[in-house]
Amino acid sequence: MGSCNTKKKSKNQQEMVVTTQAQNDKNRIERRQQKAQTLTPILAKTTQSDTVNESFISNRSTKKAYDNQKQQIQIRSGLFRVYTLLGSKSDSYLEKQEDNQIKLIQHNVSGIKKRVETINKLDTSSEKLIMKIQKNRLQNEYICPITNIYEDTEKYYLLSDYCSGGSLSSLKKNLNDNQVMILLNQMVNAISYLHQKKFVHRRLSLDSFHLLSDLNSLFCKLVDVTCLFYGNEYVMIEPSYEDYQEDIYALGLIGYQLLNGQKPYQIKNNKLQDNNNSNELLLYFKEGTSPTLKRILIKMLDKKTTEKITMEDIKKYLSKNDQRNNFTEVLMKPLYFLSKCKPRNYFHVIILAFMLNKFNQEEECILEKIFIDADIDQDGLLKKEDILPLYKSIVEYENISVDIQQVFQKLDTTNKGSIDIKEFISGALNLEDLLSQTYLETCFKYLQNQRGYITCHSIKKHIDINQQLFVQTLDEIKGQHKVNYNEFAEIMRQLL
């Protein structure tokens, strides 16, 4: 893949060319292209932290990027006209939560799988539950929110994304310290977000979190969110300090089980009369366990101390852990793709973001991490000065030549001088697998109308879009406001 050409800059214009050079990977940039690069040795001595810090994600909100997606969830009828239930016997039940049954369904056209929870309408609290779910949409990269609600005469059907990797219980005692901390970081992020919204889970376990995929992934999401909405509809009482601590304790148990394969031993303490403190935990850590992880788990599982650890304390401990080596490769790849991307239009941007969410959520999480880490002012937009430190941080590891001015010209579809999260994702993802014929056909089938066209009306049912910009872009591309499959595939493959 060739290097982006650089342009001459005026003296008063900021130099936006960044060159980095690897020791073992010089074949990606041709020698004649390397000569044209502007080498800036000072980049190797940056004050930027070596850690790509996952804990920062909880502090940096993408709220502005999602503000337009918070409309109330609509209730629809006829679930099984749209989806097919996978499995007709007891093996179709993925899990059981009290009286609510969890099943797996598949979209009849696209084949996309969803997780569905059924709520019996005979339950007197079901209507209040549905109302609370409609009013409180969850937006966090480590939570599978309820995205759709269907109903029939007997039941409500609550749909959420399906994480194919299964429960974290399959990973018990199979992880090293760093892997446990990576997962714990994500779980803390999810529950911290809920606490900020005055929600307490109270039922957290290994089965509450599922892996995004079964490809040895270390990305997980909270899947059982319905329990958050049970309770009095009309009296909103903020959870107590003890309620929040209950979730922290549960997360500590999950982390301990991932590390050691079993729950801590409980020892009866006859000297204490209080039932809540009558048991002490005996914690065992194998030799060589990370002092950081050990200290975090001990504090999370200590119910007796008067100075109990808070979510903010946990995030600070995790931020001190150097996870740079675990994240180097996944950081370099997106930045390499970003430096070589072809120009995008608004149609490309929204379709690519949609496809990535449907077909590769693991890569989506990686790109969201990078974006949020770079968004220093938390406004949901990246400026040129935000992108520059990302390339500085990998200067010692990779050979990448990038003209940041050109990157913005290619991705800033509205000429606003910055790029949002969808524009960033569209330029930094791996297109080779995503734009396969199978994925393109599946995406088109999902978004088309009954006449076999993608239009503004058909697409806005599934994607939050700027309708005026969408129509304008289609008009510029095709001279019309609709595209069939062949035209759709042609537009998307222009990016390869």
Q: Is residue 1 predicted with pLDDT exceeding 70?
A: no
More confident residue, 187 or 364: 187
Residue 485 C-beta-side C-alpha neighbours within 13 Å: 14
Same domain, 278 and 143: no
pLDDT(30) > 50: no
Q: Are 404 and 345 within one domain? A: yes
Q: Annotate 16-75 with DSSP letters as a single string.
A: -EEEE--SS--TTS-HHHHHTS---GGGGS--S-S---GGGGGGS--HHHHGGG-SPPPE
Mean pLDDT of the chain: 77
Q: Choose the final residue of a domain: 389, 407, 434.
A: 434
CA gap 385, 16 in Å, rounded:
9
How crowded is the C-beta side of 172, counted as CA atoms within 13 Å? 14
> Of 132, 161, 190, which residue is a domain's last?
161
Q: What is the pLDDT of residue 306?
A: 67
Q: Residue 394: what pLDDT?
A: 63
Between residues 393 and 140, which one has the greater pLDDT? Answer: 140
Residues 309 and 398 in one domain: no
Q: Is residue 452 part of a domain?
A: no
355 and 378, same structural domain? yes
- The CATH number assigned to the domain holding 397 equals 1.10.238.10
Final residue before a domain boundary, out of 324, 350, 372: 324
Range of the domain at 148: 66-161
Q: Please report whether residue 55 resides in a domain.
A: no
Residue 427 lies in a domain: yes
Do 127 and 251 reside in the same domain of the chain?
A: no
> CB-hemisphere CA count at 13 Å for 273?
0
pLDDT band at 231 (very low <50, low <70, confident <90, very high): low
Pairing of strands 75-77, 146-151: parallel
Q: Do 81 and 183 reside in the same domain of the chain?
A: no
pLDDT tens sequence across 466-492: 999 999 999 998 888 899 999 999 999
- Residues 89-107, mean pLDDT to the nearest whole number: 61
Instruction: For residues 261 and 385, state if they share a domain.
Output: no
Q: What is the pLDDT of residue 35?
A: 32
93/119 same-domain check: yes
Is residue 287 located within the same domain as residue 310? Answer: yes
Query: Looking at residue 218, which CATH number applies to its domain?
Result: 1.10.510.10
Residue 413 pLDDT > 90: no
pLDDT at 234: 44
Asked if residue 430 belongs to a domain, the reply is yes
Question: Which pair of structure tokens corresponds to residue 72?
Answer: 């109330």
Q: In the structure, what pLDDT confidence band is assigned to residue 25 with cuts at 50, 70 and 90?
A: very low
* Total domains in the fold of the chain: 3
Share of the chain above pLDDT 70, in %: 73
Per-residue confidence (pLDDT) for residue 170, from 0 to 100: 87
| Claim to verify: residue 359 and residue 413 sit in the same structural domain | yes
Provide the pLDDT confidence category of residue 290 given band limits of 50, 70 and 90: confident
Same domain membership, residue 415 and residue 319: no
pLDDT at 7: 42
Of 170-184, 203-217, 416-430, where does the model show the most confidence?
Answer: 416-430
SS3 state of residue 440: helix
Domain contains 10: no
- 6 pLDDT higher than 90: no
- In the chain, the percentage of residues whose pLDDT exceeds 90 is 30
Q: Phi, psi at residue 482, to the nearest 5°?
A: -150, 150
Evaluate whether residue 458 is within a structural domain. no
Residues 108-131: what's their mean pLDDT?
A: 88
183 and 297 in a single domain? The answer is yes
Residue 4 lies in a domain: no
